[in-house]
Amino acid sequence: MSHPTPIENEIKLSPKRYIVSKTDSKGIIEYGNDYFVEICGYSQEELIGQPHNIVRHPDMPKIAFKLMWDRISKGENFIAVVKNLAKDGSYYWVVTDFEPKVDPITNKIISHTAFRKAAPQQAIDTMAPI
């Protein structure tokens, strides 16, 4: 008799707190706020210098991130519901919103700051099959 696979644990986020991270223009983490560290389970030292996809959940379609990079690389915002992966294998759902920082001299994007908040349950229910 086969045993069912354990269900991943979902981390429920506080609707009053934001996960904030900053990356360089290529997606390498330069900063993560305390809530990001708390939720993802990685220390600041483990996060800084790593690609942001360290928290990418394998259930997320790769095309979503291609679309995201296509948009934010042009300085356009990209708002999406995303399933992220914590270090311990747990997951959490966020709505993410980006703010690019542009060098005023070269007009090139030098960093991206992402602000994430708890995704509404209705959005999670719609996305959950992935």
Angle at 11 between CA 57 and CA 121, to 5 degrees: 90
Interval 20-43 mean pLDDT? 97
pLDDT tens digits, residue range 88-116?
A: 999 999 999 999 999 999 999 999 999 99
| Integer Cα distance of 64 and 34 in angstroms | 26
What gap in Å lies between CA 12 and CA 83, rounded to an integer? 12
Q: How confident is the model at residue 127 (pLDDT cuts 50, 70, 90)?
A: confident
What CATH number has the domain spanning 19-127? 3.30.450.20
For residues 47 and 21, give the distance between their C-alpha atoms in angstroms, rounded to a whole number.
10
pTM higher than 0.85, yes or no?
yes
